[in-house]
Chains A and B, each alone.
Chain A
C-alpha cells in the first residue's frame, strides 16, 4: 500500500547538505594533497609527529567543549583552568606544598589533584549555569577572568621550571614510537565519541541542546547533565594543562592555555557541531582541529607569516559555519 503522493520529494543533490556533512573531510584531504605536491619534506614521520603533538591539547580541550556546546552552552574558562592545573601540578611534585618522598607518588598525586581541581572548577561553572540559570557565556566568563588570576596568585606570577622525567613522560615520552599525548588524545576522543553516540547520557546531551524545555518535560535531569558536562570540560582542560607544561618543562601561569577557548571553539565549529546545540560530533571536532592545524602548518611552511594565518583561520571559521547553516536551511 504505497501512497506515491505522500512520498517525500527526493532532492537529487544538495551541494550545501553535502558540504556540511563532508566539507571538513574534503578540506582535510585537499590540504594533504596540496602539501604532498608543494611542501617540501611533507611526507615524513616528523611532519606527522609535529602536527599531531601540536594539535593534541586543542583536541583534548575541544572534546570537552563539544559536549558543552552539544547542550547549547559554551565554556570560556578552559584556558584559565589549564593555567590553574598547570600551576598546581609542579607545586605538588616539586614538594612546595607538602614534601612527598617518592617521586612517582608525588607525580601521581600532582596529576590527579591538578586535574581534579580543574574538574571541580568545571563543576562550579555547571553549578552556576544549572542552579542560577545564568547564561553559560557569562557564568564561564567569571572563571575566565578569575581563573588565570588564581593561577597567577598561586605562583605569584613566577615561572616554575623543572626537569622531572617521570612527570614529563606525558608530554615528551613515547610508547612504541607514538607520543604519549597522542595516545591520551586518542583514548579521550574514543571514549567521548562512544559516550556521545551510544550512551543514554550522550543522547541526553543532544536532547538538551535541541530543546531544553522538551528534554526537561520528558524527564531528563537537565541540571545534572549540565553539571557533569561542564565538569568533564574542566577535567579535559586540566589534562591539557599538564601536557602543555610537560612539553615546555616549565609552567607560566600568564601563558598556559592563553586563547585556548577560541581554538577549541573554532575546532568544534569547523568540525560540524552546531554551535546552537542539539547536534554534536566528536570525530568532527577531531577533524576540525586537524584541519585548522594543517592550514596553519601549510601557511607557515610555505613562508606565510603567523599573523596572516590568523586571518585565514577567521575565514575558515566563517565559511564552515556558513556552509553548515545553508545545509540546515535548505
Chain B
C-alpha cells in the first residue's frame, strides 16, 4: 500500500508518523495523569488481568507495551504480527534502547486485539502491512521505553533520596553512587509512579543509541531452530476438532447437491454441513477430515462462476491497453507529444496471477459460545478481523478475543480484506458451539483458493529526444483492482483509480517532462489481493525494463542513463551509485556468457537498487549474484534489514523465474509445489546487501527489496542475449 500517498507525505518524512504517534500514545497512556499500579490498565479502569496477560506471575505493567516482572524480565507487547519480518526484534529494540534495558532480559509477546491501544498509527487500525511496522512504531516504542525508564528512575530517586537527574541507567541496572538496583527490584515501586507526560521525555539522539543500529542484537522470535515456536497449526486445545472445507473448484461456484453418506460413515468424522464457502467436514484429526472430504459427493452450480481461462482474460487486458483508460496521472500532453515525435519506443508487458504460497497453509482456530468467540491464529488484521467476526456473530468487538501466534509466512495473504478464512473458521465454529475447531486448508486449498496478485498488462510508449532521452511517456495499465469493494476503497481509491494498481508509475522518479498514466480496472471473478510489495510487483518491472531498453537504444550505459534522469532525486542517485560501486559495475569483468543488469525502485518509503549477474547456457540461465543497496532511514536492526532484503529478493526472484497461476475454463491449473514451482536453494544467488547510513526516520524494509529483482534479471539477460523479455515469468527464446 502506498501509505505515503495516503497520508500525503513524502517518503521518509518522519514528522507525520511522529505526530500521529505522539497523539495516539498520549491517548492510550493517559500521559501524566493515570497512576500505573497493578490491576489498573492504561485507560484507568480497574481490570483483573493486565494487558500483558496473566501468564507472567507478578508482572508490573508500566504502559500498554512494557511490563517488568520481579525476576527482572522486561516483557514487551508487540502490536504487529511476527511472520518472519522481524517485528518482535525491531519493536523491542526501540523500547529496550530507550529504557537502557539489557537485551538479554527482554522477552516479547503478541499484543491482544485492541485497536485503541495497539493501532498501527499509519493505518488507524491494528494491522500489519505496507512495510509500516517500524515506520509507525519507531517514536511510539521509544516513548514507551523512555516512559518506563523514567518511572524506574523516579522510584529509585525516592528510595535513595537522591535527585532523579543524577541517576544512571545502563544495561538494566539503575544506579547512583553506592546504590544500585535491577529493573526487577524496582518494578513494584516504579509501576506505582505517575506515568510521565511523554512530551516531556527527551528521546535519545541517534548518537546515544545502544541497541538501535547495532549488529549483534539477536532476534527475539525464538524457538524456530528447535521446533518449540508455536504457529496456528500447532495450537492444541482440550476437545478440539479439525475441519476441512470442500470449496467450489471454480471461483463463484455454489453447491448444487450434496451426498455426505459415505463421509459420515468414516470413523472419526463428526459432522458434515454446508456454509457459504462450501461443504465442511469436521473430524477428530486432519487426516480423517481430509479422507472424509474425499468421500463427499458434491455437484457444483457454476451459474455465477468465473469460467474463463487466464489466457482469455489476459487477451482482454491486451485489448484494453489499446484504448483510453481513466487518467491516473497527467503532466503536459504526453499523447500529443508521442503522436508528433519521430522517435517512439513502445513495449507491452504481461504479468500472471501469483499465489502467495506461504509455507504454513492458511488455518485458524475458533471457539464460539453463543455470541462470543475466542480465536487463536496468526492474526495480521486485528481490527478488521475482530470487527468482521463481531458482525457475523451480531455482537460487539469486546466479545471477540484474539490470541495471536507466529505466522508461517504471509506475504500479504493473511491480511485478507474480507477476513475470508477467518470468517470461514468462525462459521464452522458456530455450528460446533462450545467446541474449539481448527480449520486447516490443505496446500491444494491454499494454492487454488484465490486472492492472488492480480494479472496485469501494461503498455509503455515514450517519445525520445535527439539525445535518446524520453521527453514524454504514455502508460496504460489493465488489471483488477485490489482495493475495489474492500473497506479500504475509500482511502485507497481516488476517482475510480486504485492507487495500488499504478503505484510506482504515477510517482515515477525519472525526470520526464510529459507524462500520462491511464488505468483500466476490469471486473474478473478471480479474487485478488496484495502480494509482497503490491503494485510495485509489476510496475517496477515495466518501468525498469523499459528504461533499460531506452538506454541501450541511446547507446548509453544503463546506470549512467538512469543517473542522468535522476538528477533531481539525490536519494535514488545515492542508492544506485552505492550498488553500482559495490557490484563493480563497469569495472568488475564478467565470465564469458554472463550478463549484468540493474534496477532501482522506491517503495514503502525506501529505495533499493539491485545489480544482478546472470549466467546463460542456451535457453537456461542462473542468477549468480545480486548486490543490493538500500536506503531505509535508520536501520533499527541491520541484520534483520539484510535478512529482509535477501528474502525479498528470493521472493521476487521466485516470481521472475517460475511462479505463475493459470486457469483453464475457470479451474486453477496449479495445485501444489510440483506445479507452482517456487525458488529452491539450488537457484538462490549470492546476495550482498549494503545499507546507506542514515539518521532519517525508519521507512519500509519488508517489501522494497522485491520490486527491483525481476527487472534487474531481465536487464541482465537482455545485456547478454539481446532478448528483451516483457513477460513474467522470464523465458528465453
The answer on A and B forming one complex is no
